[in-house]
Amino acid sequence: MSIHKNQLIQNIDLSNDQLVKEALKRKEAVLSANQALVVVTGKRSGRSPKDRFIVRDASTSDTVDWGVVNQPIATEKFDQLWLRTTEHLQNKETFVAHLHAISDPEHYLPLQVTTELAWHNLFARHLFVIPSQYNADDKPSWQILNAPGLKTDPARDGVYSDGAVLINLTERRILLVGMYYAGEMKKAVFSSLNFILPMQDVLPMHCAANRGENGDVVLFFGLSGTGKTTLSADEDRYLIGDDEHGWSANSIFNFEGGCYAKCINLSKEYEPVIWQAICEQAIMENVILDEKTQQPDYANDKLTKNTRAAYPLTHIHKRVLEDHVAPPSALIFLTCDLHGVLPPVAILDRYQAAYYFLSGYTALIGSTEMGHTSDIQATFSTCFGAPFFPRPASIYANLLLKRLEETSSPVYLVNTGWTGGSCASGGHRFPIATTRAIVHAICNGDLKKAKSESYTGFGFKIPIQLPGVEQNLLNPAHNWLSEAEYREEAKKLIAAFQKNFKKFSVADEIAQAGPQG
């Protein structure tokens, strides 16, 4: 439906097919041989964390963990830029979608998403939830304005570049200016939910989730590139979601209505679920097409290593249809260790779980953030998603401990990184087949039954034997050619953990649960 008023044209709640046609007609996108839309996002091919701000006002001043991640901006600056954006869009054709974040009937958030581009509106319909009926009277609606064609002025707008993402948590408004990369929309909503939900006794999580035939639910925490989407998209299990979930006292629920998968080096053999999901109506960002066949060249990183595909959950044949599912049978913390020191799997007690949750140790691989010049960098990302958590980290860690105490869910640290040496000294990454065998052992209970031993310097338990995994891989200390080089690398990693953890003020049981070498 279109509304014409003073030259304003609003396309309201267009279908996916209609938005595809609009995007092609307006030359915002081209069509790939797999029938997915292909778009280019320009100089920003990932998130711009330095350009994200939260409005600092009476309700957020003492509740947001202000700093490099959560940058404050004044209400007046937000209001001025919001007005400038509405004026920019006034004489343009725009696209409006009425959606939800979260499908759970108790915790859902109504969204009204207004975009300058048709494909951005399609992205919103993929990544958020299309409600069976929309009733804004049930709950106050969040307003999202996305105007990539407008630029910000640092001197005038109080920002740092020609683009910005501004979140007004008090007034339920999200503003995106100069941002073609669509992932900014989903992460702005995720950040908002991460502020709201803890006060409702819900732990928001940067994790994927799936469910087995017997109803067992497994959560996969991790940064982009560590295997969260790949490992959760398992042909033998039902996908719940690939990135964002909430854990209440009684259930797990997805925040989203779709998936946003990395495409670089996508393999039909190793990632068949994702491969098949990228079809008609899907969106591929910055993926290069073969000039003759128009087939996507997933190995081509000419524009970025952070190539992406957005598609609705309906593109996944084996998926969970319910709004919420039972609490988890297991949690998996995915880490990518560049040092080659961490084992392929470790068994954590609940205090160790809190320690490694707060640490969020991993590597940035083809990072989703702009500004990283190196392909691979080690990092500590609190809660396995530091850029998206506005409140102090202890709030999320305490909620995790609470949920673990309620459910006794086991927690495992799974390393998808290097072994037999560091990334810089001739080591190699664990084969995906090895990691999948470990995940299957977690899901089917084999790991619970396995004999274990303590891992020197770290204190957690590791299995001695595991079906489908070469025994020599289970203990990295036995997997290096030089024992002296292993010990030296282990000292570096332990020191890095200890240095990073000094910023946290937590109970002694948590602080002492980390590496002590």
In terms of C-beta density within 10 A (0-12 exposed, 13-18 middle, 19 or more buried), how is residue 5 classed? exposed
Sorted by where each begins, the domain ranges of the chain are 2-26+48-200, 203-258+322-511
Return the DSSP state at 290.
P
In whole angstroms, give the CA distance from residue 389 to residue 400. Answer: 14
Q: What region does 158 belong to: left with phi over 0, alpha with psi -120 to 50, or beta?
A: left
Contact 415, 336 (CB under 8 A): yes
pLDDT tens by residue, 403-437:
999 999 999 999 999 999 999 988 999 998 999 99
pLDDT of residue 4: 47
Place of tokens 């332990």: 494
Which residue type occupies 254?
N
The CA distances from residue 292 to 266, 284, 309, 424, 504, in Å, are: 20, 18, 21, 38, 55
- pLDDT averaged over the chain? 93
| Residue 454: band (very low, low, confident or very high) from pLDDT cuts 50, 70, 90 | very high
* pLDDT above 50: residue 284: yes
Could you tell me where the DSSP H helices lie in 304-461? 350-359, 393-407, 432-444, 446-449
> What's the predicted TM-score (pTM) here?
0.93
Q: Comparing C-alpha atoms, which of 165, 140, 141 is closest to residue 152?
A: 165
- How would you class 57 by CB atoms within 10 Å of its CB: exposed for 0-12, middle for 13-18, buried for 19 or more? middle
> Among candidates 335, 101, 350, 363, which has minimal Cα distance to 228?
335
Mean pLDDT check: name the lowest of 29-43, 114-128, 357-371, 442-456.
357-371
Residue 439 CA to residue 433 CA, distance in Å, equals 10
* Backbone torsions φ then ψ of 276, nearest 5 degrees: -70, -25
Question: What pLDDT, in 10s, does the model give residues 363-382?
Answer: 877 545 454 445 678 899 99
Whether 2-26+48-200 shares its CATH topology with 203-258+322-511 is answered: no
For 256, other C-beta atoms within 10 Å of its C-beta total 24
The Cα-based distances of 466 to 45, 47, 337, 352, 463 in angstroms read 40, 39, 21, 22, 7
CATH domain 2-26+48-200 topology: Phosphoenolpyruvate Carboxykinase; domain 1 (3.40.449)
pLDDT of residue 196: 97
Q: Residue written as tokens 């959950």?
A: 313
What pLDDT score was predicted for residue 372?
43
Residue 16 is classified by DSSP as: H
Residues with Cβ within 8 Å of residue 326, at least 6 apart in sequence: 215, 217, 251, 252
By annotation, the residues acting in catalysis are: 47, 187, 206, 224, 228-229, 243, 308
Architecture of domain 203-258+322-511: Alpha-Beta Complex (3.90)
- Asked if residue 134 has pLDDT above 60, the reply is no
Lowest mean pLDDT among 45-59, 87-101, 148-162, 213-227: 213-227
User: Is 80 exceeded by the pLDDT of residue 138?
Assistant: no
Question: Lowest mean pLDDT: which of 45-49, 61-65, 454-458, 503-507?
Answer: 503-507
